[in-house]
Structure 1
Amino acid sequence: MAAVQWHPRERRYTSELQSCRPECAPVEPGDYHPLKAITVTDAKSRRRKGEILARFTTTEKLSINLFMGTDKGKAPNPGSSAVSEKVRNRLEELDNQEEGSQRELLNLSQQEYANRIEELNQSLKEAWATDQKVKALKIVIQCSKLLSDTSVIQFYPSKFVLITDILDTFGRLVYDRIWSMYSFTADEVNDTAKETCLNWFFKIASIRELVPRLYVEAAILKCNRFLNKTGIQETLPRLTAMIRGIGDPLVAVYARAYLCRVGMEVAPQLKDSLNQNFFDLLSAFRQLHGDSVQNQLVLQRVEIPEYLTLYSPAIHWILQCVAYRAPDPLLTEMMERCKKLGNNALLLNSVMWAFKAEFVAARATDFIGMIKDCDEAGFPKHLLFGSLGRSLACADPPEAERLTILNEAWKVITKIRSPQDYIHCAEIWVEFTCRHFTKREVNTILADVIKHLTPDRAFEDAYPQLQSVIQKILTYFHDFSVLFSMERFLPFLDMFQKDSVRVEVCKTIMEVFLKHQAEPTRDPVILNALLHVCKAMHDSVNALTLEDEKRASSFLISGFIRMVWFGRDFEQQLSFCVALANQCLSQADAFFKAAVSLLPEVPRSISVEGKSRPSESFLLDFISNFFATLLVVPDHPEHGVLYLVRGVLNMVQDYTWEDNGDAKVKVYIAALPLLAAMSQETYLYSIPKVDSNETLYGGDPKFLMEINKLCETLIGQVLDYLKTLGREEQMVRRQGSLSFSLFGVLLAHGDLRNNRLNQLAVNLWNLNHKHGCSDTRTSVRTLEHMKQQAQQPGMAHMADMVQRLTLQSRT
């Protein structure tokens, strides 16, 4: 094959680099870059959509017109030559489809209506994907027309967010299509892109009705930048003026909200149109109390306060756009204009929602005065105080005014009759109280909440708000001695009577305690209260509880127990930890039997910190500790001698242990000290007012005989196992370790004056040292201990035994 010569292509690095950078637009000094505004506004819009859909609902039946598309919606042959001819043909198609088939769906529920809107959204995307652009436009127009309909007025805000989703989808599709056809800047847009852009604006201009024409043009507002650099700047004032022609004030305010949102996304530097929308809103505000609106409300049986709340989302959004990066003088001017309006509670509420929290907090006293002057019949004052409280939770008012602000607000809040309205407002002001005041004021508020929500068990409908109150208190009060010294805190917790909610609250309290309690505590107030909390978590666990939930509760309860420390007061520490101190012997007996019966069900492996580990070592530790507990447990008169000890050993015998492990024999060895302790006349320890076997049997020879027989059986099992290990050379180290363990038990608990037992101990020592696997340091210390014991009265046999024990020699 002939060699291929290399020919480099010419590169325009400056233009290529520019194409890779984020889209930019000129901004005024002090403003954010437009992309920053897009991020902020779009995120807030998505978050608010769910809130609006959940809040503005209806049980009324809804209707919707569905466009029945035909093949006419397909784009004409691209071979058409003249631009004017192409535009005329597409306009004719649009007119034909406006007169085409439609289907009206009646008696739809709210969910069915939302589903139909989503179907239209999907139809729009499918039509666009199949190059049926005119059909896609027709769907958008039909959806936009629905925004003129206020027949079910309570649902209008939800309808707005559903339909503007379709408009946003359409705007992105159009913009992306034209974007793919042009170069880098507006000066370099090719003719095909400009022609396509103009085509879309001509189609929209032919829409007869004002509302759909306005919305659809606003949806593709961003496309104006393909025509010239000042396209958006010229279009925004025109669209703002068009809204003045909408007669229904509710429809008009949401149109302004959509235009402001789109304007902020594409040109946040153009402040004049935003401000003009706000001032137009003020001018049209008197329409809210006009005859046409009043007649509509009478017809739909809607009260004025409920009607005014429908405006809140739109006005909030308009004011947030206006207040974004706005200087304080402009915000002050807007607030003064709101003051001059009569019945301005609705605007005042939105001002406190939308303006910077620092601005509102610095003028909190002025806002309280304005709230007092508002007409209660038009807009509830508790909503106004709720909005003020949200701002004060984010920014601090002047210190000298804080107590006055709280007192003035609470005078209104405490008079609210509806428990739901009350708790919604009180929940907000709890954070302000916790931020700036002491436990005395917080305790007063908790008492007031209990007073309002206890009658008729109103608290059952306010669990989310009550949980929020707890979380806010825990955010600011980390000293639990202070927290539990509030007289009304524990009674407040008692209102959480639904099991699942109570457990969640208890977990929240314990998480905060473990996170912020730096040192162990012995405070009885804290211990008693948190024991109550941990008991609630413990009692919630049942057979249906998930493992993750069990693990989380166990972690929190164990963490609390570890944080309790009484120092050198061991008796107090023991009384806190030992359950039998409560004289619950009958219950303890049932627990012990249950623990024994569950031993065969212990899995071979368990999850520890997310990792699977063998359970054998954990089980061995448990059984050893369990043996120590059984010393104080008296035998049941109907079950025979040592029935619990025999039960454990039987379960151990039947349990499937690891093939190469010595756990079962270690259990047998661990049982010998227990049996030796049980044969004593006086036990090492006992529980007050509980009669252990030392009292029941009193050194009875039959009882001692049963103990001795069981010990002989266990020792025989261990010796047989040691012989088995000795048959394989690789097992001699395990043999030596077990033989030394048994030697230690015999040394500590056996009567070595018995020649056979003494000889067995010597044989075990020699077996441990036979293969050179013993720990010389441990052996030396053992011999020293035996020599010390030999000096005690009655222990002379120890000296003889020491003479027979030799250490292994190392060569």
Structure 2
Amino acid sequence: MMYVCKVLHDSINALSLRDEERQISNYIVNFLRRVTHGRDLEAHLNFLVDARAGFANLQPVVMFLVQRVNSLAVETHRMVKGNHSRKTSAFVRACAAYTFITIPGVTDAFMRLNLYLLSGQVALLNQAITQGDSFFKAAISTLSEIPKTQEIDSVQRSTEPWVLAYVNQLLSTLLVVPDHPEREPLWILRGLMNVVREYAWDEQSDAKAQISLNILSLLCAASQDEYSYTIKKVESNDQLYAADRKFIEALSEIINGVIDELFDILKQLGSRKETIPKQAALALQLVKIMLAHMDVRDQGTGQLIMKLWNLASKTGAASRKTMAQTAEYAKSLCDRTGYEVYGNIATRISVT
């Protein structure tokens, strides 16, 4: 069957029709999906190495092989219940090496990004932290290759919504990724922020602002003494730094930089009449994040919240429903925490 599939693979050339290539790819993938070596996962990995060498020119087959090897790593994790021995640890790292070498052969940048993120998550699940870092770095580098538009149903559409959704997934994963001991704090996130700054965003879009808001939320989550979620046997930064002063100072520095960038974006959105509603919405979102994650007992934070609120309200473009929900949220925080400062803020931003 491998020989027959190889003959089919080699029959594809530059003159072949797309439908023909798709049909042959489906035949080969269906065959590969049916091959199993039982509990001998190492033998199956060797089989997939041979398959990669034999079917490297068919993109759907290459993507299937990456997914299949990730499945082997997850299956190994399930078999050992997360408690890897030296042998199983070496095997899952071999799986990570396979996928890291194979993914660059995928020509579609969108698929490469998805595979890098998924493979990095699988590596983290199996405590292969160094390999996970490599996948996330590769994903961040690939982001700059995403075109501004993509043809969908014969219509050119913006890729910014896709980039926004992808970065959000990446950020949620980065929360539990521990820092490299020889690197500066949050070095992977800093690399992502550099790519976001240099990306050619649409001036009338608020995608960059949304990503900055999500980065701000991540940084606030990273400052917590204990993270909301972790990965078994992976020490995230909450355990690695244990609220170390230098780490908190680094977080504060990045947070201040992100807030400054958001104010620059607010200024840009306010310079055009058509983007003023987006400016008001962004200001309200920033108010919510500051109420939820920052110490409003600090005088500077309280003043900043009121400045943003006044900016949103004076434009007349802010949603009154959202404004009322924000005031109600501040009141609920007062009831929950007992801090009167939340009640004062709720009174000052109440909508009549």
TM-score by length of 2: 0.69
Distance 1:759 1:582, change over 3 A: same
Paired AA for residue 723 in structure 1: K
**153, 156, 170: which is aligned to 1:626?**
170
**Structure 2 CA distance, aligned partners of 1:799 and 1:736?**
23
Distance 1:591 1:543, change over 3 A: closer
Paired AA for residue 619 in structure 1: V
**243, 247, 252: which is aligned to 1:703?**
247
Q: Write out aligned runs for 1:485-504 (5 A).
A: 497=50, 499-501=53-55
Distance 1:588 1:608, change over 3 A: farther
Contact 2:151 2:157 in 1 (8 A): yes
Name stretches of at least 5 consecutive residues in structure 1 with no aligned partner.
Answer: 1-448, 450-458, 466-470, 511-523, 529-534, 558-573
Contact 1:596 1:648 in 2 (8 A): yes
The structural deviation recorded for 1:786 is: 2.4
Residue-by-residue CA offset, 1:448-500 (whole Å, 9 max, x unaligned): x9xxxxxxxxx7589659xxxxx9xx99xx9xx9x78998xx99995994544
The aligned counterpart of 1:638 is 182
The aligned counterpart of 2:87 is none
Distance 1:497 1:544, change over 3 A: closer
The structural deviation recorded for 1:736 is: 0.4
Distance 1:610 1:690, change over 3 A: farther
Work out whether 1:743 is the aligned partner of 2:296: no
Distance 1:701 1:675, change over 3 A: same
Residue-by-residue CA offset, 1:318-341 (whole Å, 9 max, x unaligned): xxxxxxxxxxxxxxxxxxxxxxxx
The structural deviation recorded for 1:728 is: 4.2
**Structure 1 CA distance, aligned partners of 2:48 and 2:348?**
73
The structural deviation recorded for 1:804 is: 0.4
**763, 768, 781: which is aligned to 2:325?**
781
The aligned counterpart of 1:733 is 277
The aligned counterpart of 2:200 is 656
Identity %, equivalent residues: 30
The structural deviation recorded for 1:739 is: 0.5
Residue-by-residue CA offset, 1:265-314 (whole Å, 9 max, x unaligned): xxxxxxxxxxxxxxxxxxxxxxxxxxxxxxxxxxxxxxxxxxxxxxxxxx
Distance 1:495 1:597, change over 3 A: closer
Q: Write out aligned runs for 1:342-741 (5 A).
A: 460=3, 497=50, 499-501=53-55, 547=108, 578-608=122-152, 611-741=155-285
Instruction: Tell me which moved more, 495-504 or 642-651.
Output: 495-504
Contact 1:739 1:767 in 2 (8 A): yes
**Structure 2 CA distance, aligned partners of 1:721 and 1:622?**
21
Distance 1:731 1:538, change over 3 A: same
Distance 1:703 1:773, change over 3 A: same
Residue-by-residue CA offset, 1:582-629 (whole Å, 9 max, x unaligned): 111111111122222333332222344554321222212222222221
**Structure 1 CA distance, aligned partners of 2:310 and 2:107?**
52
Distance 1:755 1:594, change over 3 A: same
Distance 1:733 1:584, change over 3 A: same
The structural deviation recorded for 1:663 is: 2.7
**Structure 2 CA distance, aligned partners of 1:462 and 1:626?**
36
Structure with the bigger RCO (C-alpha within 8 Å, sep 6+) is 2
Q: Write out aligned runs for 1:118-197 (5 A).
A: none
Distance 1:464 1:646, change over 3 A: closer
The structural deviation recorded for 1:726 is: 3.3
What RMSD over aligned residues (CA atoms) do the two structures have, in Å? 4.5
Q: Secondary structure at the match of 1:791?
A: helix
Distance 1:647 1:464, change over 3 A: closer
**Structure 2 CA distance, aligned partners of 1:601 and 1:619?**
11
Distance 1:594 1:539, change over 3 A: closer
The aligned counterpart of 2:84 is none
Distance 1:800 1:462, change over 3 A: closer
Contact 2:6 2:54 in 1 (8 A): no
The structural deviation recorded for 1:630 is: 1.3
Distance 1:501 1:624, change over 3 A: closer
**Structure 2 CA distance, aligned partners of 1:540 and 1:587?**
12
Residue-by-residue CA offset, 1:160-196 (whole Å, 9 max, x unaligned): xxxxxxxxxxxxxxxxxxxxxxxxxxxxxxxxxxxxx
Q: Secondary structure at the match of 1:657?
A: coil
**301, 307, 312: which is aligned to 1:757?**
301
**Structure 2 CA distance, aligned partners of 1:647 and 1:544?**
24
**769, 786, 799: which is aligned to 2:343?**
799
The aligned counterpart of 1:93 is none
Distance 1:496 1:663, change over 3 A: closer
Larger Rg: 1
Distance 1:627 1:542, change over 3 A: closer
Paired AA for residue 747 in structure 1: L
Distance 1:618 1:789, change over 3 A: same
The structural deviation recorded for 1:581 is: 0.9
The structural deviation recorded for 1:579 is: 4.3
Contact 1:496 1:502 in 2 (8 A): no
The structural deviation recorded for 1:746 is: 0.6
The aligned counterpart of 2:85 is none
Distance 1:745 1:601, change over 3 A: same
The structural deviation recorded for 1:752 is: 0.9
Contact 2:327 2:350 in 1 (8 A): no
Contact 1:503 1:540 in 2 (8 A): no
**Structure 2 CA distance, aligned partners of 1:707 and 1:604?**
31
Contact 2:113 2:142 in 1 (8 A): no
The structural deviation recorded for 1:660 is: 2.3
The aligned counterpart of 1:435 is none
Distance 1:610 1:689, change over 3 A: farther
Distance 1:544 1:554, change over 3 A: closer
The structural deviation recorded for 1:538 is: 6.8
Contact 1:632 1:692 in 2 (8 A): yes
**Structure 2 CA distance, aligned partners of 1:674 and 1:588?**
19
Contact 1:463 1:496 in 2 (8 A): no
Name stretches of at least 5 consecutive residues in structure 2 with no aligned partner.
Answer: 9-22, 65-74, 80-95
Paired AA for residue 626 in structure 1: L
Q: Secondary structure at the match of 1:612?
A: strand
Distance 1:766 1:725, change over 3 A: same
Distance 1:773 1:538, change over 3 A: same
Distance 1:542 1:778, change over 3 A: closer
Contact 2:149 2:156 in 1 (8 A): yes
The structural deviation recorded for 1:775 is: 2.1
Distance 1:539 1:608, change over 3 A: farther
**Structure 2 CA distance, aligned partners of 1:652 and 1:743?**
22
Q: Secondary structure at the match of 1:601?
A: coil
Q: Secondary structure at the match of 1:792?
A: helix
Paired AA for residue 649 in structure 1: M
Residue-by-residue CA offset, 1:200-231 (whole Å, 9 max, x unaligned): xxxxxxxxxxxxxxxxxxxxxxxxxxxxxxxx
Contact 2:284 2:308 in 1 (8 A): yes
**Structure 2 CA distance, aligned partners of 1:542 and 1:586?**
17
Q: How many residues align?
A: 298
**Structure 2 CA distance, aligned partners of 1:539 and 1:654?**
26
